[in-house]
Amino acid sequence: MKTYSIVLIPGDGIGVPVIDAAWQVLEAAATRANFKLKAESFPWSCAFYKKTGAMMPADGIEILRGHDAILLGAVGWPAQVPDSVSLHGLLLPIRKAFVQYANIRPHRLLPGVEGPLRAAGFDILCIRENTEGEYSGAGGRVHVGTPDEVAVETSIFTRKGVERILRFGFEQARLRRNKLASVTKSNAQKYSMVFWDEVADKLSAEYPDVEVKSYHIDAMAARMVMAPESLDVVVASNLFGDILTDLGAAIQGGLGFAASANINPDRTAPSMFEPVHGSAPDIAHLGIANPIAAIWSAAMMLDHLGESAAASDIIKAIEAATARGIGTRPGNDKTDAITAAVLSALA
């Protein structure tokens, strides 16, 4: 029987209960499909930072390296630790160290879920560059606290980085409906974004079967609201992809349905899977966090590991639960009740 070694990092706030829910579903799916999952859980979080002065141990990356995949809940507790510290201390270092350059986020309405738009028949796969661009962390501040203070944040776009994420997007489009939307702001950012457009145009010659269109970020935001059904695969930079996928979560009914995968396509290191939502400290004690995004992310993890049938079973179970109206409205159902509904459908 094949066994997969999975790291669980529940993190902060609602990350803890949603990862518990996802793990219950994963174990049930593994039992049905005749494979095993072995979990190792780490308490790396803002609470860990307050105790140790670091979001994870100095050898945290090496600790993670030997596992097959990572399932992350949520990280952040701004009242205790600045978001800039928690993000750059855990999530971003893992993405960069393991070359998880493709962030994948699906956006579609689950059965029984009413989104805020009149449109319902959309199915968008957002591909976000995940390791460089606007989140490269290059820059600094000088004359801090004085009237002459200066802050500089430098975006870094490499040919290798831009080409590989666009190529990944083209390949995903080939697996879907052969449509790719490349998102930039090249009318205003005349170096990095013009460069991105040029790479996209050059690569398009290698994929004559894929219809390619370029959009400015503002036009794409409008299109996701006005005509989401016209989109298939959307590829964007780190910052633009981050913003667009929150919009994608909104049109699919909320962050409680927004799953994601941080993929190392070359499989030279583990990939990481996480719900898009944050730690939501304000509701962490109420037991009403929607675990569907985490469970969906777990299904994406199984698909990446090659257990596509089990992944499909989980997605069908989620859909069966929401079709009954369970978990379709924020705060309407308890975390445990939604988890039980998915487990029941899976059984």
Q: What is the pLDDT of residue 57?
A: 97
pLDDT tens string 311-346: 999 999 999 999 999 999 988 999 999 999 999 999
> Token pair for residue 128?
């976000």
- Give dist(CA 287, CA 345) in Å, integer: 21
**Over pLDDT 90: what percentage of the chain?**
97
1: confidence class by pLDDT, cuts 50, 70, 90 = confident
Once rounded to an integer, what is the mean pLDDT over residues 120-138? Answer: 95
pLDDT at 69 exceeding the cut of 90: yes
pLDDT tens string 168-222: 999 999 999 999 999 999 999 999 999 999 999 999 999 999 999 999 999 999 9
> Token pair for residue 164?
């590989």
pLDDT tens string 294-316: 999 999 999 999 999 999 999 99
Once rounded to an integer, what is the mean pLDDT over residues 280-293? Answer: 94
Q: What is the pLDDT of residue 19?
A: 98
For all residues of the chain together, what is the average pLDDT?
A: 96
> Token pair for residue 246?
């929150």
- Answer for the pair 219, 188: CB distance below 8 angstroms, yes or no: no
70, 203, 176, 181: which is closest to 127 by C-alpha? 181
270, 233, 289: which is closest to 105 by C-alpha? 233
- Give dist(CA 224, CA 105) in Å, integer: 14
Q: What is the pLDDT of residue 137?
A: 87
**Over pLDDT 70: what percentage of the chain?**
100
Q: What is the pLDDT of residue 330?
A: 87
* Helix residue ranges per DSSP H, 145-211: 159-175, 192-204
> Token pair for residue 244?
């667009």
Cα 97 from chain centroid?
A: 17
pLDDT tens string 239-280: 999 999 999 999 999 999 999 999 999 999 999 999 999 999
288, 292, 271, 294: which is closest to 73 by C-alpha? 294
